[in-house]
A and B are shown apart, each in its own frame.
Chain A
Amino acid sequence: MFIGTVKTRVGEIKKVSTRLNKEDILGAIKVRWRIGRTHYKVDPGLYAVGNPDDTSDVFVTANYRLSFDHLRKNLDGINAWILVLDTKGINVWCAAGKGTFGTAELVNRIRATRLKEIIKHRRIIVPQLGASGVSAYQVKALTSPKNAFKTIYSGNASVYFQSESSSLGIDRGFTVVFGPVRAADIKAFITNGYKSTEAMRKVTFNFYDRLKLVPVDFVYSFTKLLVALAVVFILSGINTHGFNINQALHKGLVSAYYILSAYITGIILTPALLPYIPVRMFAFKGMITGLVLSSVFTAFSSLGSTALETVAWFMLISAISSFMAMNFTGSSTITSLSGVKKEMKIFVPIQIVLASGGLILMVLSNLVVLK
């Protein structure tokens, strides 16, 4: 990644390549599957691409390695500085939501890297999705010396900044220019006079956007799957004589198949079909796909050996699929917190009733059948 250094008046700054090598690409695949994710960081600070000088642009990003790699890849052929904020290895959008990609960190990082001494201009380009953490006018105020002794409230945190004695004489604060949502639009953004077009400002959520998050969701909820499998395995073995291991193995295997199908329906199929399921709430979408799956099972094979068991599986499958789909709200780019709270108020009780009811019926069906 590093290809030498660039000399500045505050010392040498590491220069990074704009070409991703095999390791970078392999790292991206691994991080999407959550393998060793916590270590996928870049050190916060200033980096160079090309041969930047004191008139070059400054692009701000998070210290999540994928964000950083994505930015430098799209700066190919440009001489620029990259200012990496400490977001604890989290991407710009999520970190802005959590507040780590924020006004305070940006102002601190500008000071820590002595950016004022490296560049003559006072413009920094922040990705637009960082705007829920970065307040442009507050950055301006906090980095201009005349306002240096001020306490500014940003969100919940009160941030205090000490005076900076500017070595450059008359100074002004940094102007934050919000760049495009996608790094791929940076060159077009520059050609457009450092302005984003309407298309550049919009977040997309197309088929590929939805599916590339599936592996993370899948691995994230893997433990939940294991717990669910263990529970049905144990419950499958209960009969009038107590617990029978053979029955547990036999029925448990079928149960595992149903549960895995419900899980995949909620976590892969529902996100893939998201815009085509004609209801708005994600939990409702998942419940519908779960019911469809149960119906398909009933039509083409048999969902359980008794009517009671069939009803139990209808309830369990739709509960699981609904719950998994509900958790996709966080991966989507279209949900509001108020909306998610509303759907949870309605659907979490339904999911609990369906899941517990399904489990009770499942046990009951075992007891009734063997009598």
Chain B
Amino acid sequence: MQDMVYIKNVVTLQLDQSNCNGCSMCIKVCPRNVFRLIDYKAHIVSRDHCIECGACALNCQSRAITVISGKGCGCATGIIEGYFNGGKSECSCSRC
């Protein structure tokens, strides 16, 4: 079966190719196969598969990747609990 895709055109993932050193770490850590290495540079090939987990940005030594809301995956329960607890972290709920 095909991979399920969530809402389109929402993710905050950004790749600055001029900083990319082609180490391919982003490809190795991405659980959704978002990147591909073409001519020694990383390319975002399936942006809408991104779940903003933040693994690529954290492991990009040349800091070519940024993803704003990345900590684990999106979770409504976490957002709701965070709202009521006044917590800043979006992933702080008791469920996971």
Contact B70 A337 (CB under 8 A): yes
* Interface 9-mer from A21-29, A109-117, A126-134, A296-304: A126-134
Question: Would A97 and B7 count as touching, CB distance under 8 A?
Answer: no
A333-B31, A333-B51, A334-B4 given as contacts; is B73 within 8 A of A97 (CB)?
yes
Q: Does B76 belong to the interface (CB within 8 Å)?
A: yes
Asked if A98 meets B75 with Cβ closer than 8 Å, knowing A131-B55, A132-B54, the reply is: no
Q: Are B29 and A178 in contact (CB under 8 A)?
A: yes
With A220-B95, A330-B73 in contact, do A339 and B7 touch (Cβ < 8 Å)? yes
Q: Are A137 and B61 in contact (CB under 8 A)?
A: yes
How far apart are B84's CB and chain A's nearest CB, in angstroms? 13
Assembly CA distance A174 to B30 (angstroms): 21
Contacting residues, chain A, for B15 (C-beta < 8 A):
none
Asked if A275 is at the interface (CB within 8 A of a chain B CB), the reply is: yes
Stretch in contact with the other chain, from A164-172, A199-207, A253-261, A357-365: A199-207
**In the assembled complex, A146 has its CB within 8 A of some CB on chain B:** no
With a CB–CB cut-off of 8 A, which chain A residues contact B78?
A: 330
A131 pairs with B29, CB closer than 8 A = yes
Task: Using CB atoms, name the residue of chain B closest to A274.
Answer: B4
Q: How far is the CA of A192 from the CA of B7 in the complex (A)?
A: 35
Answer yes or no: A33 CB below 8 A from chain B CBs: no
Verify B59–A330 contact, CB threshold 8 A.
no
> B52 to A329, Cβ gap below 8 A?
no
Knowing A281-B7, A336-B51, the reply to whether A201 touches B33 (Cβ < 8 A) is yes
Q: Which chain A residue lies CB-closest to B30?
A: A201
A158 within 8 A of B: no
Is B75 in contact with A334, judged by CB distance below 8 angstroms?
no
Cβ-defined partner of A136 (8 Å) among B7, B49, B59, B73:
B59
Contact of A94 among B28, B68, B96 (CB under 8 A): B96
Q: Which of A2-10, A227-235, A309-317, A340-348 contacts the other chain?
A: A340-348
Is B51 touching A99 in the complex (CB atoms < 8 A)? no
CA gap between A155 and B71 in the complex, in Å: 10
Interface size in chain B (residues, C-beta < 8 A): 47
Residue of B nearest to A155 (CB): B58
A240, CB-defined interface residue at 8 Å: no
The answer on a CB contact under 8 Å between A128 and B1 is: no
Task: Determine whether B91 belongs to the interface, using a CB cutoff of 8 Å to chain A.
Answer: yes
Check A137 against B91 for contact (C-beta < 8 Å): no
A211 to chain B, nearest CB (A): 15
**A91, A97, A134, A217: residue with the most chain B Cβ atoms closer than 10 Å:** A97
* B1 in complex: contacting residue of A216, A275, A326, A341, CB < 8 Å: A275
Take A97-B72, A132-B70 as given contacts and tell me if A337 and B28 are in contact as well, using a CB distance cutoff of 8 Å. Answer: no
Q: Assess whether A96 is interfacial by the CB under 8 Å rule.
A: yes
Name the B residues within 8 Å of A205 (CB-CB). Answer: 4
Question: Closest Cβ of chain A: how far from B51's Cβ, in Å?
Answer: 5
Residues of A227-282 at the interface with B, using a CB-CB cut-off of 8 Å, are 274-275, 280-282
CB of A332 closer than 8 Å to a CB of B = yes
Beta-carbon contacts of B22-47 to A below 8 Å, as 1s and 0s? Answer: 00010011111100000000000000
Q: Mark B55-66, 1 if CB is under 8 A from A, else 0.
A: 100110100000
Chain B residue nearest to A333 (CB atoms) is B73
| Among candidates B32, B69, B80, residue contacting A337 with C-beta atoms closer than 8 Å | B69
CA distance A305 to B16 in the complex (A): 62
User: A341 to B91, alpha carbons, bound, how many Å?
Assistant: 13
Determine whether the beta carbon of B71 is less than 8 Å from that of A97.
Answer: yes
- State the CA gap A163–B37 with chains docked (Å): 37
**Is A135 located at the chain interface by the 8 A CB criterion?**
yes
Contacts of B51 in A (CB 8 A): 333-336
Given A129-B31, A132-B54, A337-B4 contact (CB < 8 Å): no
A340 close to B75 (CB less than 8 A): yes
Q: List 27 A-B contacts (CB under 8 A).
A: A91-B96, A96-B55, A97-B73, A98-B71, A98-B72, A98-B92, A99-B71, A129-B31, A131-B59, A133-B58, A198-B33, A201-B31, A203-B32, A217-B95, A274-B4, A280-B6, A327-B77, A329-B73, A334-B73, A336-B10, A337-B52, A337-B90, A339-B6, A339-B10, A340-B74, A343-B76, A344-B79
